[in-house]
Amino acid sequence: MRFFFRSPQFKKAVTTVVVIIALAVTAGLIGGYMAPQAGIVGAVVAPFQKLGNIVVSSFGELADNFKSAAILNGEKEKLQNEVNYLREQLVEYEQAVNENEFYEKYLGIKDMNPDFEFAPAMVLGIDPDDVFGGLTVGVGSLNGISLYDPVITDEGVVGYISEVGLTTSKVMTILDSRLTCGAYDSRTGDAGALSGTTELAATGNTRFFNLPRTCTVAVGDLVVTSGSGIFPDGLILGNINSINSDPISTSLYAVVTPTVKFKELKNVMVITAFTGQGNELTGGE
């Protein structure tokens, strides 16, 4: 565009406009001093005088348009600022509502377990290289987080803290084969242990194993923590969806679908303290 303003065509156009304006203004001046009956000169001057009036009028309109545009731009900027402010207020309001709903979901757990101390945490991401869906959360030792602290949602157990940094931590999920916790069927009281396998983790499931053949567990039963490991008693783990014979022992095992939807997690609660905390139990596949 800048080359166009330097081109001969642009310079000629500007010169032509300047000449026309000069003639128009001159014609206006001459026309003002000449009597109407000055025939030939009047005939010659009249078109330029008319053109001069048009040019002056056009410049006046152009100035008015610029003034109006400036006013409109000012109003537009003012309105945009108001819109931005209202958007910020809406975001803050929605955050407050979400936080209230988030905390309300834990009131029942807190009421039933007054000894629990919580630390809320945002899920920062899922480890793409972890077949068991390990998480990173936005709290660490500066927030009072310690190794093996249980991690839950209002739906059930997520896992426990497996690594602690200053401001972030890693969470090992209950799908993991390296995590083992005591568990029992909440309906029948049949006890066993819960731990994951690579194959089951691929389907989003884990296993409830070491069940005696005399047990009466059934599909649909709720499996909860027994309190014999790093988790407090009575936290929901998941529901039984199938019962199978263990290929390497005489016991049974049940495939359990966790109640927590790991891929949809946004916020979790870390239990930083509870009565009986400190009994650590981890195992393998």
Amino acid type, 196:
G
Cα dist from 180 to 102, 104, 192, 239, whole Å: 28, 30, 10, 17
* Range from 27-41, 85-99, 177-191, 225-239 carrying the lowest mean pLDDT: 27-41
Q: Of the spans 37-51, 78-92, 130-144, which averages the highest pLDDT?
A: 130-144
Q: From CA 53, how far away is CA 83, in angstroms rounded?
A: 44
Are 281 and 193 a contacting pair, CB within 8 Å?
A: no
Angle ∠(9,14,18) on CA atoms, nearest 5: 150
Residue 254 clears pLDDT 80, i.e. is over it: yes
pTM attached to this predicted model = 0.65
Q: Mean pLDDT across the stretch 131-148?
A: 96
Taking the CA atoms of residue 64, residue 69, residue 71 and residue 73 in that order, the dihedral angle to the nearest 10 degrees is: -170
In 105-200, which ranges are E strands? 117-126, 135-137, 150-153, 156-164, 169-173, 180-185, 191-195
Residue 4 clears pLDDT 90, i.e. is over it: no
278 membership: H or E segment, kind and range: none
Q: What is the pLDDT of residue 79?
A: 84
Q: How do strand 206-211 and strand 191-195 relate by DSSP bridges?
A: antiparallel
3-state secondary structure of 67: helix
Residue 261 clears pLDDT 90, i.e. is over it: yes
What are the pLDDT digits (tens) for 95-123?
Answer: 555 556 666 777 778 888 899 999 999 99
Q: What is the pLDDT of residue 10?
A: 53
Q: What is the pLDDT of residue 247?
A: 85
Q: What is the pLDDT of residue 135?
A: 96
Residue 143 clears pLDDT 90, i.e. is over it: yes
Q: What is the pLDDT of residue 219?
A: 98
Other CB atoms within a 10 A radius of the CB of residue 69 amount to 10
Q: What is the pLDDT of residue 106?
A: 78
Q: Which domains does the chain have, with CATH numbers?
A: 1-112 (no CATH), 117-273 (2.40.10.350)
Q: What is the pLDDT of residue 46?
A: 58
* Range from 28-42, 188-202, 206-220 carrying the lowest mean pLDDT: 28-42
